[in-house]
């Protein structure tokens, strides 16, 4: 059972989370690309790699999701998966808020850093990465949470047009 919930506003974005058990059929889930199944935040807020599809366990994983769609934002009861899919069409962007001391999280992809910027009202810089694979449009940006410095916010933008290179 997959359910997507949304919480209160987070600056201009909206934070939600998605609960799912590993018994779900990932391939048929429309949000699979959008949510990047290979990276999740576990219940204890430790980053973990999603287990292989043939794993016998059925753990529940949780990811924090930051959306930017007005569609999702306007829903008070929380968006359905339909709305989530619409969000993907508007902007293929997903963010994870992760409790971590290091900002370089190995998610199975190779990244090339191309920029760093100090953001206003925050003492922390924001780092910009591009997917290392040529022709792949995916970018990500990494920054520390303004208030909770022990958290790292990783934002992915776009969908990989190639398999994960290990």
Q: Which is nearer to DNA, 76 or 120 (CB)?
A: 120
Binding mask 67-86 for DNA (x = CB under 7 A): --------------------
Query: Nearest-CA neighbor of 154 among 5, 7, 38, 2?
Result: 38
Q: Which is nearer to DNA, 62 or 126 (CB)?
A: 126
Nearer Cβ to DNA (7/112):
112
- The secondary structure of residue 97, as a DSSP letter, is E
Nearest approach, Cβ of residue 165 and DNA (Å): 12
Q: Could you tell me the smallest distance in angstroms from the CB atom of residue 129 to DNA? A: 8
Sign for the CA dihedral angle at 109, 115, 119, 125 comes to: positive
Indicate the DSSP class of residue 36.
T
- For residue 113, state whether it binds DNA (rule: CB under 7 A): yes
Give the C-alpha separation, 159 to 89, whole Å.
11
Of 143, 142, 105, nearest to 124 (Cα)?
Answer: 143
Among 32, 49, 58, 114, binds DNA (CB under 7 A): 114
Closer of 83 and 143 to DNA (Cβ): 143
Distance CA 83, CA 138 (A): 22
Of 131, 133, 160, 155, nearest in space to 143 by CA: 155
126 near DNA, judged by CB under 7 A = yes
Interface residues with DNA (CB under 7 A)? 111-117, 119-120, 126, 128, 139, 141
């Amino acid at each position: 059972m997959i359910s997507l919930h949304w919480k209160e506003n987070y600056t201009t974005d909206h934070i939600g989370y998605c609960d799912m058990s590993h018994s779900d059929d990932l391939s048929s889930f429309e949000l699979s690309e959008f949510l990047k199944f290979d990276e999740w935040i576990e219940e204890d807020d430790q980053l973990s790699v999603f287990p292989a599809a043939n794993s016998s366990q059925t753990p529940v994983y949780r990811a924090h999701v930051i959306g930017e769609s007005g569609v999702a934002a306007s829903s008070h009861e929380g968006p359905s998966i339909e709305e989530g899919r619409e969000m993907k069409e508007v902007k293929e962007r997903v963010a994870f808020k992760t409790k971590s001391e290091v900002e370089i999280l190995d998610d199975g992809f190779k990244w090339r850093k191309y920029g760093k910027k100090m953001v206003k009202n925050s003492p922390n810089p924001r780092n910009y990465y591009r997917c290392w694979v040529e022709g792949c449009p995916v970018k990500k940006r990494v920054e520390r949470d303004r208030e909770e410095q022990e958290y790292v916010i990783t934002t992915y933008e776009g969908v990989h047009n190639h398999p994960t290179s290990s």
